[in-house]
Structure 1
């Protein structure tokens, strides 16, 4: 027993030298770096939700998303006209928003977001130029109700009008978040209604003349759209052929656009055999 106590005392003494104390460190506890000061880092906003132009046509007020929490989470919030530093692009004005925050460290408690407004004065009136914030958020005064500027979409500030055109179909593909490198397989359009079939390859990358069936395997989808002021608006998705499914959802959908539709399972996946009654190879959708 005496020997055991001596060994224990010796081990504790070694631990004191190594850890600064015996029995005071808990497994999984914070390290000195974890308990040190929380750094403030420069960030850009997660989003810019609005922009307004002042009566002088030069002062911009930008609504931006910034971190928030129980303690201060933002300082040095500012917007800067970067054209003077990086050069101008005809027809545009570029502004960059930055701020400092400890939100990169969750110990700061800055785990939420709020809207803050930041202002910047341009060296000359905005005029008809587009406002580009943080390189990819674009506003325009064209078609907006002053003092607000209009937020432009993925197709720019002046997207193509709804109609039976290639540009219009591309807008519809973006609306339904079609996978990258999708192919438009068929369009049925009358200007007010649209059926759009598209597919994307799922097999390996192959040469154009490769006969391997796996190289032509695809998945596909079919959407039905209604024309609205903002562009094509999807209202139904279905792989079924004919009109029954879509007209059950929207009785006004014209029969002329759906009567000839084939089920996608047979139209888009020729390299896959149909499922057998015994539950053989499934036809992907």
Structure 2
């Protein structure tokens, strides 16, 4: 068993304070103007064996007697590399667009280093970067956040929370106001929820679940896949082409069908042509039919 001295220290790998073994240590004592010791230590976690650097400031000048009559000496500890204690970031960061991922990573560094003004600006910058990536335009970030909700990327409640990030970023930029640590922690959660919703969950759902579809681009992909089961000349309504997948677009089918007709008329979609309007298998109202075209 090792006889080296042990200390309690935060382990970034274990995500909590664990027992560490002091591998190398060096101390400097000050007794002139202010009584204190500074300890420099290389420590290894006795659980996962992760090695870190630990600096301890022993404030002898501020020592005080406890209830048992023993002297307590305040000690401040810093562990390097620094981490956000208790924070679990986005693991699948590779799913994020390059620019969005880089800004998010830099924001984590700024918050970890307690650079709060830069952190407030950076969190606002992440929201701006997401809007840029999704093609959400507008004269102000306020308009762009509202468009994120109206276009279906986020909920109205999510948009309201993102406006709080906007306010924080504006205060940091224009009033040089330093956010409180608690406010930054909550703001980081909001931004990470945005990234999870827009990018991470989207990737994880693909090929595993069948979410509802409201965006035309995804509808067109679904329709093209369905048309592989039909032959040129077949004339049917969209419900027949889509079959069971109709449930995925049911809430938006009228809007999607209108956009499909516009694409066909403009020549942007050539796999179908517009057919007759007629009843189909006892439908209560006539349905727009489409004719499958031969591949070019």
Length-normalised TM-score, structure 1:
0.24
Length-normalised TM-score, structure 2:
0.23
Name the structure where helix makes up a greater proportion of residues: 2
Name the structure where strand makes up a greater proportion of residues: 1
